[in-house]
Amino acid sequence: MGFQISKEQQMIQQMAREFARKELAEKAADRDKNHEYPADSLKKMGELGLLGMLVSETYGGEDMGTVAYSLALSEIAYACASTAVIMSVHNSICCGSLERFGTEEQKETFLRPMAAGEIIGAFALTEPEAGSDPQSMACTAEKDGNHYLINGTKRFITSGKNGGVTILLARTAPTGSKGITAFLITPDLPGFEVGRVEDKMGQCASDTVDLNFTNCRVPASRMLGKEGEGFLVAMSGLDAGRIGIASLALGIGTAALDEAKKYARKREQFGKPISEFQGIRWMLADMAMDVEAARLLVLNAAATKERGENCTAQASMAKCYASEMAQRVTGQGIQIHGGYGYTKEYPVERFYRDARITTIYEGTNQVQRIVIANDLMKDQKKKRKNKTAA
| pLDDT tens digits, 232-243 | 999 999 999 999
Do 197 and 161 touch, CB atoms closer than 8 A?
yes
Q: Which CATH superfamily is domain 235-378 in?
A: Butyryl-CoA Dehydrogenase, subunit A, domain 3 (1.20.140.10)
Residue type, 277: F
> Residue 217 and residue 241: Cα distance in Å, rounded?
29
Burial class (CB in 10 A: 0-12, 13-18, 19+), 243: buried
Average pLDDT over residues 80-98: 97
3-state secondary structure of 150: strand
pLDDT 10s digits, 322-374:
999 999 999 999 999 999 999 999 999 999 999 999 999 999 999 999 999 99
- 86 near 208, Cβ under 8 Å? no
Using only C-alpha atoms, what is the Rg of the chain?
22
Determine whether 362 is an active site residue. Answer: yes
**Residue 1 pLDDT > 50:** no
Rounded Cα distance, 2 and 49, in Å: 28
**Which residues in the chain belong to E strands, given as ranges?**
121-124, 140-144, 147-158, 165-171, 180-185, 192-197, 208-219, 223-224, 268-269, 272-273
CB 29 within 8 A of CB 82: no
Residue of 227, 238, 211 whose CA lies nearest to 101: 227
> CB–CB of 149/132 below 8 Å?
no
Asked if residue 95 lies in contact with residue 66, where contact means CB atoms within 8 angstroms, the answer is no
Distance between CA 241 and CA 316 in Å, rounded? 10
Task: Please write the tens of the pLDDT for every residue from 177-193.
Answer: 899 999 999 999 999 99
Cα distance between residue 30 and residue 205, in whole Å: 9
Domain boundaries, the chain: 7-120, 122-227, 235-378
If one counts every other C-beta atom within 10 angstroms of the C-beta of residue 17, the result is 17
Question: Mean pLDDT for the chain?
Answer: 95
**Cα three-residue angle 78-43-37, rounded to 5 degrees:** 65
Please state which architecture CATH assigns to domain 7-120.
Answer: Orthogonal Bundle (1.10)
Q: Check: CB of residue 349 under 8 Å from CB of residue 342.
A: yes
**% of the chain exceeding 90 in pLDDT:** 93
Is residue 6 over pLDDT 80? yes
Residue 378's pLDDT is what?
87
Per CATH, the number for 122-227 is 2.40.110.10
pLDDT score of 10: 97
Continuous H helices in the chain: 7-19, 25-34, 39-48, 66-79, 81-88, 96-101, 104-106, 112-115, 230-236, 238-266, 278-306, 312-337, 348-356, 365-376, 378-389
